[in-house]
Structure 1
Amino acid sequence: MNIWTLVGTLDNWKIGIERGVWGVKERARPLWGRVQPGDKVVFYAVRTGVIGYGTVEGKFESGELLW
């Protein structure tokens, strides 16, 4: 199990919670490839600080823009 920090704005975090997903930019693909179900994540909102945590339940890829 790994622990990852996911950084974004507070607005993006709210969208992620609402939709039940988190998105990453293309440049983060190599790192995203290392994330596995069961890993822990800490959500860090710029200017706000740590605002949540969770467990990765699964992964998928989509071209849909989240934010």
Structure 2
Amino acid sequence: MTRWLAISNRTNWEIARKKNVWGVPQRSKKTIERVKPGDTVLIYVSQQKVDDKLLPSAVTGAFEVVSEPFEERTKVFVAPEHMGEEIFPYRIKLKPVAIFDPPVEFKPLIPRLKFITNKTMWTGHIRQAMRVIPEEDYQRLMSSNK
């Protein structure tokens, strides 16, 4: 079983949570093809300014993968402005394991996360749609939800 961190924004997080599906852009096809049923996906959302409040980067939930990757071209997700008409066609079906309410703030955990090797330029470690994280990091993020 592989542990994945899926990188998103709050809009697409809500879509994934409601529809129990995760999608990646065309350029991430090879990554999602490595995902298998039984794997676990933690969803990370980047920081976002809403009105005059800054919502921190956070992990919002954990899901079990319950399908093989598949291609679906129905527009479900909202593409960030810089991605143009991207529809995130490569998808997996999910089953909720835990919804973090409140979300687990990410930045305070950076010093203890193994997959982030550059602690000062840490955003470089989350610039793709999905990445494998070590079991130790998965457990640390899950236990931070309590």
TM-score (normalised: structure 1) = 0.91
User: Which protein has the bigger strand share?
Assistant: 2
User: Which runs of structure 2 are paired with 1:1-67 in the superposition (5 Å)?
Assistant: 1-47=1-47, 48-59=57-68, 60-67=70-77
Between the aligned residues of both structures, percent identity stands at 33
Judge which range, 51-60 or 28-37, deviates more. Answer: 51-60
Task: Give the AA of the match of 1:37.
Answer: P
- Give distance in 1, aligned partners of 2:60 and 2:18: 15
Tell me which of the two structures has the higher relative contact order, counting C-alpha pairs closer than 8 angstroms and 6 or more residues apart: 1
Partner of residue 136, structure 2? none
Structure 2 runs not aligned, ≥5 long = 48-56, 78-146
The ranges of structure 1 where at least 4 consecutive aligned residues each deviate by more than 4 angstroms after the TM superposition are none
TM-score (normalised: structure 2) = 0.44
Name the count of aligned residue pairs: 67
- 1:61: how far off? 1.8
The two structures, once aligned, show a CA RMSD in angstroms of 1.0
- Give distance in 2, aligned partners of 1:65 and 1:28: 17
Higher Rg of the two aligned structures: 2
